[in-house]
Amino acid sequence: MNQAEKEGYLREYSILKNEGKPFFPYAVAKDGTMALIVMIVIIFLALMFGAELGPKVNPTTTTYVPRPDWYFYFLFEVLRVMRNVPKFTPMATIGVPTIAMILLFLLPFYDRSTERRIERRPIALAAGIVTIAAMAYLTYTGANTGSPNSVDMKPPSGLTASQRQVFEAGAAVVGQSGCLACH
């Protein structure tokens, strides 16, 4: 930002500041009113419809399919995709999302554009779109994954009849126990 742009910005800011209303009480009152309306709507909906609690927990069941809450589906999908490469699982599930969040937090430091409109800030626009698209895709695929009670792995070729029987019995146990939900 050169000196002329800085002076123009400060001049425009002072004009708008003199014409505008103070933050307190105007903006605080509007924000407080909206927060109160949202809280009343949430309380009303909770009283009218209640909360879905589901069935009581049975610790002896093997039919329970553990699934994360909807806001963790994207991480669940990353873990599911990386399950075939165990040595990369910690990096994919912890490292990559952490690095992505750090890069988003540091966006104001490496995108030093003075422009405020997003369509004129290609780095910020690209970072936002890529992040939203990746999380949306992974959330969608994580929510629509198949049942962990079915084993999609085919037996290796060249097994004897007794080995094939042992393989199929193991696949049945894994499927019935829901092991593929976590592993």
Local confidence band at 183 (pLDDT 50, 70, 90 cut-offs) = low
Per-residue pLDDT of 93-108, as tens digits, reads 788 888 888 988 888 8
Residue 85: left if φ>0, alpha if ψ -120 to 50, beta else—which one? Answer: beta
Within this chain, do residues 128 and 104 fall inside the same structural domain, yes or no?
yes
Within this chain, do residues 69 and 141 fall inside the same structural domain, yes or no?
yes
Structure-block tokens of residue 136: 């949306």
- Structural domain total, the chain: 3
Within this chain, do residues 152 and 140 fall inside the same structural domain, yes or no?
no
Within this chain, do residues 96 and 128 fall inside the same structural domain, yes or no?
yes
Residue 87 covered by a domain: yes
Per-residue pLDDT of 2-34, as tens digits, reads 899 889 988 988 888 888 877 788 889 999 999
State pTM to two decimals.
0.51
Q: Taking 70 as the threshold, does the pLDDT of residue 175 lie above it?
A: no
For helices 96-105 and 122-143, what crossing angle results, to 10°?
150
Within this chain, do residues 177 and 135 fall inside the same structural domain, yes or no?
no
Within this chain, do residues 157 and 97 fall inside the same structural domain, yes or no?
no
Within this chain, do residues 84 and 102 fall inside the same structural domain, yes or no?
yes
Asked if residues 85 and 153 have their Cβ atoms less than 8 Å apart, the reply is no
Q: Tell me the residue range of the domain where 3 lies.
A: 1-54
What confidence score (pLDDT) does residue 117 get? 85
Residue 59 covered by a domain: no
Widest distance between CA atoms in the chain: 87
Q: Which residue has the tokens 């927990």?
A: 57
Within this chain, do residues 38 and 83 fall inside the same structural domain, yes or no?
no
C-alpha separations of 95 from 4, 73, 92, 151 in Å: 43, 17, 6, 29
Q: Taking 90 as the threshold, does the pLDDT of residue 35 lie above it?
A: yes
